[in-house]
Amino acid sequence: MGYKVSIVGISGAVGQKMLELLEVSPIKVDSLRLFASNKSLGKKFPFRGKKYKVEQFDETMDDDIVFFAISAKFAIEFAKKIIGKVGKIIDNSNGHRMMLDIPLVVPSINGKIIKKKDKIIANPNCSTIEMVLFLDPIYEAYGLKKIIITTLQAVSGSGLRAVSALYDETRDFIENRSVKNKFYPHPIAFNVVPFIGHILGNDYSDEEIKMTNETKKIFGDKKIDIFATTLRVPTFYSHFETIFLESKLPIDIEKLKKEIERDPLLRLLDDKKNYNFPMPISSAGTDIVDVGRMRYGKNKKELFSVISADNLRVGAATNAVRIAEYIVDKHLI
Cα separation, 189 vs 185, in Å, equals 12
Helix, strand or coil for residue 19?
A: helix
Q: Residue type for 143, please?
A: G
Helix, strand or coil for residue 266?
A: strand
Q: Does residue 175 come out as left (phi exceeding 0), alpha (psi in the -120 to 50 range) or beta?
A: alpha
Active site residue 331: no
Contact (Cβ atoms closer than 8 angstroms) between residue 39 and residue 186:
no
pLDDT value for 37: 85
**DSSP class of 328:** H
Of 168, 269, 149, which Cα lies nearest the Cα of 215?
A: 149
In the chain, what are the domain boundaries?
3-123+316-329, 128-310
CB neighbourhood size of 236 (10 A): 14
Q: Residue type for 22, please?
A: L
pLDDT value for 268: 98
Active site residue 239: yes
CATH architecture entry for 128-310: 2-Layer Sandwich (3.30)
Q: What is the pLDDT along the chain (333 residues), one digit of tens a residue?
A: 799 999 999 999 999 999 999 999 999 999 999 999 888 888 999 999 999 999 988 888 899 999 999 999 999 999 999 999 999 999 999 999 999 999 999 999 999 999 999 999 999 999 999 999 999 999 999 999 999 999 999 999 999 999 999 999 999 999 999 989 999 999 999 999 999 999 999 999 999 999 999 999 999 999 999 999 999 999 999 999 999 999 999 999 999 999 999 999 999 999 999 999 999 999 999 999 999 999 999 999 999 999 999 999 999 999 999 999 999 999 998
Sequence-distant (≥ 6) Cβ neighbours of residue 4 within 8 angstroms: 29, 30, 31, 33, 62, 63, 64, 65
Q: Which helix (H) or strand (E) holds 238?
A: none
Instruction: Tell me the pTM.
Output: 0.95
Catalytic residue among 96, 126, 198, 331: 126
Catalytic residue among 96, 186, 239, 331: 239
Cα separation, 156 vs 267, in Å, equals 22
pLDDT value for 176: 92
CATH architecture entry for 3-123+316-329: 3-Layer(aba) Sandwich (3.40)
Contact (Cβ atoms closer than 8 angstroms) between residue 127 and residue 231:
no
Contact (Cβ atoms closer than 8 angstroms) between residue 151 and residue 239:
yes
